[in-house]
């Protein structure tokens, strides 16, 4: 479904880009943040990555057999 449904594929890609940006920004600002804030950022990245994977898995499982509607 992710290959045949452009909107679903775009949502997963956009969520992946957002997770990458969070990771990149946290790595850049790692020297300037307190340990408690770093833990919060890492937790946010973990949750965002898990949700992105869950959305992709849900879309793949709910897609019709053969990928055609």
Count how many domains the chain has.
1
Flag whether pLDDT at 69 surpasses 60. no
Residue 45 falls inside a structural domain? yes
Tell me the per-residue pLDDT of 9-67, one tens digit each, with 9 for 90 and over: 787 788 888 888 877 877 777 677 788 887 887 888 888 888 888 887 887 777 765 54
Block residue for tokens 């057999």: 65
Model pLDDT, residue 2: 54
Residue 21 falls inside a structural domain? yes
Residue 1 falls inside a structural domain? no
Model pLDDT, residue 15: 81
Residue 28 falls inside a structural domain? yes
Residue 39 falls inside a structural domain? yes
Q: Residue 48 is part of which domain span?
A: 6-67
Flag whether pLDDT at 6 surpasses 70. yes
Query: Hey, is 26 helix, strand or coil?
Result: helix
- Predicted model pTM: 0.61
The residue among 49, 63, 62, 57 whose CA lies nearest residue 15 is 49
């Amino acid at each position: 479904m992710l290959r045949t449904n452009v909107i679903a594929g775009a949502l997963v890609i956009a969520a992946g880009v957002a997770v990458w940006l969070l990771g990149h920004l946290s790595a850049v600002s790692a020297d300037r943040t307190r340990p408690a804030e770093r833990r919060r950022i890492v937790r946010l990245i973990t949750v965002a990555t898990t949700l992105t994977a869950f959305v992709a898995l849900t879309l793949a499982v709910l897609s019709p057999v053969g990928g055609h509607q």
